[in-house]
């Protein structure tokens, strides 16, 4: 007799997951070199150099980053989103979201954040930390209109991260938003906003398959005018 299957996924024991983790390779080479002593005086140019190389070498989604925030009670949160703008000279990184989303509310309560870029193909990680400021309405509108149609529709639907007990309700909201965008291409979601992080710490991490990682942290002074380069132990 043939075996009957239910289509359900097989049970996975926690021990087998742990064994799989122990057997996974990390930092498989060849990896780029990173001469800390020859790094520029500020982090912006080095970020640009690393980012351009990541694009040239076809690192997958190099503009994707983890945005880490905390709420008013100090509880941490994190999610992946895309970098919208960067100003190497000013040392600023900009991203967008709904002001009504969990991350938007968290940034209003505690306007500090951390960004983490990780490019496994190159064994590279960049960590950016600093205060965050929301952009003015005119700039938010300009950025919204530069987004693709799908992204604009989703923002017009709104209510991001709210419970969805009835998927048909969401589908109806999405169709209404699509129709709204078709009829009014210049419509802007009222809750869309850009947030700019002005870095006070930026760390560049170059992995090494022998665990001799190279790390360089940039620290901005209190006046915000100068950077200090600080090599870190692996």
Q: Which residues are annotated as part of the binding site? A: 103, 125, 160-161, 205, 215
CA 202, CA 193: separation in Å to the nearest integer? 24
Return the biggest CA–CA distance within the chain.
78
Q: What is each CA distance from 142 to 54, 184, 187, 188, 194, in whole angstroms? A: 28, 15, 11, 9, 10
CA 29, CA 170: separation in Å to the nearest integer? 45
- Calculate ∠ Cα 20-24-25, nearest 5°: 170
Checking DSSP bridges between strand 85-87 and strand 92-98, what pairing results, if any?
antiparallel
The answer for 52, left when phi > 0, alpha when psi is -120 to 50, beta otherwise, is alpha
DSSP class of 9 = P
How many Å separate Cα 87 from the centre of its chain? Answer: 16
Cβ atoms 95, 84 nearer than 8 A: yes
Cβ atoms 198, 21 nearer than 8 A: no
Binding-site members for FMN are: 103, 125, 160-161, 205, 215
CA 23, CA 19: separation in Å to the nearest integer? 6
């Amino acid at each position: 007799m043939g075996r009957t299957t239910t289509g359900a996924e097989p049970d996975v024991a926690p021990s087998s997951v742990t064994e799989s983790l122990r057997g996974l390779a990390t930092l498989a080479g060849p990896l780029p070199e990173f001469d800390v002593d020859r790094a520029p005086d500020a982090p912006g140019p080095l970020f640009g150099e690393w980012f351009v190389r990541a694009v040239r070498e076809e690192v997958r989604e190099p503009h994707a980053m983890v945005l880490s925030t905390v709420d008013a009670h100090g509880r941490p949160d994190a999610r992946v989103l895309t970098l919208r703008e960067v100003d190497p000279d000013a040392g600023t990184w900009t991203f967008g979201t709904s002001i009504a989303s969990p991350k938007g509310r968290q940034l209003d309560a505690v306007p500090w954040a951390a960004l983490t870029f990780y490019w496994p193909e190159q064994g590279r990680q960049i960590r950016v930390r600093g205060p965050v400021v929301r952009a003015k309405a005119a700039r938010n509108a300009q950025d919204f209109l530069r987004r693709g149609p799908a992204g604009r529709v989703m923002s017009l639907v709104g209510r991001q991260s709210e419970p969805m007990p009835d998927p048909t309700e969401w589908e109806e909201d999405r169709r209404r938003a699509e129709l709204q965008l078709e009829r009014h291409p210049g419509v802007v979601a009222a809750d869309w906003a850009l947030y700019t992080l002005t870095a006070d710490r930026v760390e560049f991490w170059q992995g090494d398959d022998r665990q001799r990682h190279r790390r360089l942290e940039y620290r901005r002074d209190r006046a915000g005018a100068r950077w200090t380069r600080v090599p870190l132990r692996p």
